[in-house]
Structure 1
Amino acid sequence: MAKKKIATKLKVPGSDTAHRATIRMYRQGLGDCFLITIPRKKTNPLRILLDCGVILGTQNAVDKMTQVAKDIVKETGGHVDILVATHQHWDHLSGFIQASETFAKLKVGEVWVAWTEDPDDPLAKELRQERAEAITALRMSAATMTMAGDEEGASEVDNLLGFFGAAGGASTEDAMNAVMKMGKPRYCRATDDPVHLSDPDVRLYVLGPPHDAKQIRRTLPSTRDPETYGIAAHQLSENVVAALLPDDSSTPFSDLRAIPFAITRGMDFFRKHYWGPGEEAPEWRKIDTSWLGGASELALALDSATNNTSLVLAIEFPDGDVLLFVADAQVGNWLSWTDLSWDVEGRKVTGPDLLARTIFYKVGHHGSHNATLRAAGLELMKNLSLAAIPVDHEMAVKKRWANMPLPELVKALGSKAGNGVVRIDEAPDPPVRNVTATDLYFDFLI
């Protein structure tokens, strides 16, 4: 569907008391940024900002994120009650670096992050160390691939590393640190009691991430009985991490004795004894970078495991309706909600119960195949009214993610969401009820 520009003048969210909430989904590109406004009876509306970023490689990213940040400051009157930074990926946090001067004008009450950012949590420390080592190893492997002439392999790894920021530039860790200085931090756990606000009368539930390394590392659907839509991906090779660690001893020669692969084409010795007649040597004579064959798998695993540390938030209204924001949560995160339960004023609330009462769903990971479960996810959402996909398919194709969003999932969402599915890269045709838009954002009136 061709993109359409819309310039509809909207009412100020929160000024129309006929609506319980307004959810603003920004259209900055491939990334997440949501502003939730819930009217109060006595004071200014409650404002919750979830993430603010765009994928590395987006054209005019600084200008776009500055424009978004200016709108957030204007819309909120310069104050946000809760700022939620879901996980350390550039497409969720970049704006806090790219538009830092504008965000300096925003006052924040609390900053909610997952327990994975807690400096005193042992498992969080382990996961952060694991991520740092993997990023270092992958940057080295991508550089080695480039020198060896494997441009395609290097590009694939670099695209996934882009989720962690530009090499040599600002990182997602820098962005997360900037966010956590904006207000009082709260390290959220799924075992926390729901936060009950009296005005407005809503409850905030944290569903994930699970405090379990195995569940966090369970990112892909099973091959035999896939829990998601689409085809299960290949499993990660067991030796990939060991082969790419910075102190790896499995490489055939030390760095001091290694000659970049492409350079050997112009050296007489190698042209005579290695390359042989013609431009290509027999495959059996090459040892080059075959030991790096698992780099793309490791990059994918690192990306997915970080997605699985996503802070998942459910907002419950007094009548039981729920707004669900899952960030980029993947299989293990979703499955962990099955066992969650809370005692709330004499009633038992469970993870599946919150899904069953969900009326608005922020679709996970830009509509990817491994970020919306079927039986334990979408099929439970019996009351789903609206689904929002923050995706830019053209950019996804440039990044070689042609199935973002996954057509099978988009179709399932369309049959499930009573009022429709909205994605940031398309104008709904026909228009969706209670959804208005400008070129900068969609507003969902709940």
Structure 2
Amino acid sequence: MPIQNKITRTEIRMYKLGTGDCFGIKFYDKDGLSYKLMIDCGTWKGTKEYLSPYVSDLVSWFGNEVDLLVITHEHKDHVYGFEACEQLFTNGFDAKQVWMAWTENDDDPTIQDWMKRYGQKKKALAKATEKISVFVHDEFNHQAYEHEKYASQIIESRKSFSAKLSDLVDLQFSLDNQVYVGNLKGMKIVKDKIAKGKLVFKNPGDIIRGLKGLPGVNIYVLGPPKSWLSIKKENGGEGESYKHNREIFKSDAFAAAVLNESEDYTEELPFDRKYVIDRNSSAWEKAMRNYKNDGSEWRNIDFDWLQGAGELALRVSSMTNNLSLALAFEFEPSQKVMLFPGDAEFGSWASWHEIDWNSSVPKVENSDHLKKGVVEDLLNRTVFYKVAHHLSHNGTAKRLGLEMMTHSDLVAMATLDYNIISEGWTSTMPNVEIVKELVKKTKGRLLVMNEKGLLADRKTKESLADCVKNGKNALSPKERKEFDENCKNETYYIEYNLQL
């Protein structure tokens, strides 16, 4: 049966708030505007005065209401706009429905328990970050390096580490006088003031069909995974993830130590249990007297122990990314797909391929859903990809992700801007392998928030702008004309019109 008033095109706007996601999407049928969707509103940082013109333009473009607001996950670069520009979202703006991942259901006892333990890691990180900041700026502690040849470089490197660690904390934690207090303010504003009883939680394997205003559009919920192991997994093995020189280690023991918790983390300790000393024993007092002996400060490992905060920060950040609500929009009858994965990392991408879709995917004879996996088929038909995690190495799976995006019409958008970003991220974003693969897959149809300062090759110093420009040589004259006609780069946003 033919679909009445099918969706014929979408307008996709990537707002230039800075490194972070803020997308507006309008869906049109033959009679005009049919549906309005907003996904996230975040950026690394920015004042209300700076961000307001961007958010005002977005709200005005939507006519002060959206049919659906999607919040992918609780990171500042995805929700900070709701905090900085709260009045614009709570005074006359209406979201008819709000979607979040199943992990945001505060009333679920299982999630409450998990978030309590997750919150403990956040508290540990906040506490360790504060200690490190005090330590690296303490002149007394600098004396331990006064005889070192490179004393000033050591001190500066530790100050730099402290600053970058603070950036990671700021990205994901709501603090009050350096004490973790729960949800980021932007997230609380969405839950308490914008959603107002219209909040719906989505699970992997859900397929939403028949939304009013979206005839013939099927929305597949891919993530976040239900498996704790998948949530914790940042990288895959050889051929599964794009290369990076970082490894993340276990950090539960570190979190427990910082908080002086009583839980038994024996399995996480790097030494046998018989070497653990009871803090209330005379042996502990003797050990501490020797450890704190005058003239032996240089032997102390206080700061080296706290360096574990870096591993904990990266692990917690990675887990939050893997909690992203990842969505694929399938359009009938064209069968084209838009993919919005939030900041999903490898563990989430891999989990998509393990979802049991049997009860929700219709059994159509000769369907590619039956010949291959449902997610592989969706990726094969993806014509628009919102690049996960700002072109980072772990934001896009390789074999189970980008290599499956084989459609000749693929276009990608990436939310990366060196003008507004943590300094620590500039060495890892963009990942050069992902850039080159995306340029090849899209034939240069890669739209980046701000190309200035970005390199596609760190050895040859080839700029990302030149790489994208050269990639467009693979387009036919017809493809080049169509792409140029469907793109706009304005002051507040980059817009792409996807023809369906």
Task: Give the conservation status (yes or no) of the 8 Å contact 1:142–1:154.
Answer: yes
Aligned to 1:416: 441
Aligned to 2:161: 153
Matched, 1:273 2:269: no
Distance 1:396 1:122 in 2: 36
Matched, 1:178 2:189: yes
More helix by share: 2
Q: Give the alignment partner of residue 488 of structure 2, picking from 411, 420, 436.
A: 436
Distance 1:303 1:235 in 2: 11
Aligned to 2:171: 163
Q: What secondary structure sits across from 1:179 in the alignment?
A: helix
Q: Give the alignment partner of residue 26 of structure 1, picking from 15, 22, 25.
A: 15
Of the two, which has the highest radius of gyration? 2
Distance 1:234 1:248 in 2: 28
- Length-normalised TM-score, structure 1: 0.82
Q: Spell out, residue by residue over 1:108-158, the C-alpha distance to the aligned partner (whole angstroms, 9 max, x if none).
A: 111000000112334422332123211211111111112222533322321
Per the TM alignment, residue 248 of structure 1 is displaced from its structure 2 partner at its CA by: 7.0
For 1:423, the aligned partner's letter is: V
Match runs of 1:361-372 below 5 Å: 361-372=385-396
- Length-normalised TM-score, structure 2: 0.74
Distance 2:246 2:236 in 1: 7
Aligned to 1:258: none
Q: Give the alignment partner of residue 52 of structure 1, picking from 41, 60, 74.
A: 41
Distance 1:165 1:417 in 2: 36
Q: What secondary structure sits across from 2:427 in the alignment?
A: coil
Please, what is the CA RMSD of the aligned residues?
2.8
Per the TM alignment, residue 295 of structure 1 is displaced from its structure 2 partner at its CA by: 0.8
Task: Give the conservation status (yes or no) of the 8 Å contact 2:28–2:34.
Answer: yes
Match runs of 1:29-428 below 5 Å: 29-41=18-30, 44-55=33-44, 58=45, 60-104=46-90, 105-149=92-136, 150-165=158-173, 167-168=175-176, 172-180=183-191, 181-183=193-195, 184-197=198-211, 199-201=213-215, 202-222=217-237, 225-231=238-244, 233-237=246-250, 239-247=253-261, 273-274=294-295, 283=298, 285-318=299-332, 319-340=334-355, 341=357, 343-347=360-364, 349=369, 350-383=374-407, 385-396=410-421, 398-418=423-443, 420-426=445-451
Task: Give the conservation status (yes or no) of the 8 Å contact 1:226–1:232.
Answer: no
Per the TM alignment, residue 66 of structure 1 is displaced from its structure 2 partner at its CA by: 1.8
Distance 1:211 1:18 in 2: 32
Per the TM alignment, residue 363 of structure 1 is displaced from its structure 2 partner at its CA by: 0.3
Distance 1:205 1:400, change over 3 A: closer
Task: Give the conservation status (yes or no) of the 8 Å contact 1:189–1:206.
Answer: yes
Task: Give the conservation status (yes or no) of the 8 Å contact 1:84–1:113.
Answer: yes
Task: Give the conservation status (yes or no) of the 8 Å contact 2:40–2:79.
Answer: yes
Q: Gapped runs of 5+ residues in structure 1?
A: 1-16, 255-269, 276-280
Distance 1:197 1:237, change over 3 A: closer
For 2:221, the aligned partner's letter is: V
For 2:103, the aligned partner's letter is: T
Distance 1:140 1:93, change over 3 A: same
Distance 1:387 1:218 in 2: 25
Distance 2:96 2:422 in 1: 38
Task: Give the conservation status (yes or no) of the 8 Å contact 2:385–2:413.
Answer: yes
Q: Gapped runs of 5+ residues in structure 2?
A: 1-5, 137-157, 264-275, 281-291, 453-464, 470-479
Per the TM alignment, residue 198 of structure 1 is displaced from its structure 2 partner at its CA by: 6.0
Distance 1:98 1:68 in 2: 12
Task: Give the conservation status (yes or no) of the 8 Å contact 2:8–2:29.
Answer: no
Task: Give the conservation status (yes or no) of the 8 Å contact 2:18–2:416.
Answer: yes
Q: What secondary structure sits across from 2:257 in the alignment?
A: helix
Task: Give the conservation status (yes or no) of the 8 Å contact 2:34–2:213.
Answer: no
Which segment drifts farther, 364-373 or 197-206?
197-206
Q: Spell out, residue by residue over 1:261-303, the C-alpha distance to the aligned partner (whole angstroms, 9 max, x if none).
A: xxxxxxxxx9x9326xxxxx6x4x2243332231110010000
Distance 1:18 1:400 in 2: 38
Q: What secondary structure sits across from 2:41 in the alignment?
A: coil
Task: Give the conservation status (yes or no) of the 8 Å contact 2:125–2:255.
Answer: no
Distance 1:32 1:241 in 2: 30
Distance 2:423 2:18 in 1: 13
Per the TM alignment, residue 207 of structure 1 is displaced from its structure 2 partner at its CA by: 0.6
Per the TM alignment, residue 323 of structure 1 is displaced from its structure 2 partner at its CA by: 0.4
Aligned to 1:10: none
Per the TM alignment, residue 64 of structure 1 is displaced from its structure 2 partner at its CA by: 3.4
Identity %: 31
How many residues get paired? 402
For 2:398, the aligned partner's letter is: R
Distance 1:122 1:401, change over 3 A: farther
Distance 1:396 1:358 in 2: 29
Distance 2:75 2:205 in 1: 24
Per the TM alignment, residue 179 of structure 1 is displaced from its structure 2 partner at its CA by: 1.0
Q: What secondary structure sits across from 1:28 in the alignment?
A: coil
For 1:177, the aligned partner's letter is: K
Q: What secondary structure sits across from 2:207 in the alignment?
A: coil
Per the TM alignment, residue 41 of structure 1 is displaced from its structure 2 partner at its CA by: 5.0
Distance 1:171 1:41, change over 3 A: farther
Task: Give the conservation status (yes or no) of the 8 Å contact 1:116–1:123.
Answer: no
Q: What secondary structure sits across from 2:9 in the alignment?
A: coil
Distance 1:46 1:35, change over 3 A: same
Task: Give the conservation status (yes or no) of the 8 Å contact 2:239–2:399.
Answer: no
Q: What secondary structure sits across from 2:451 in the alignment?
A: coil
Task: Give the conservation status (yes or no) of the 8 Å contact 1:206–1:312.
Answer: yes
Per the TM alignment, residue 162 of structure 1 is displaced from its structure 2 partner at its CA by: 1.4
For 1:414, the aligned partner's letter is: V
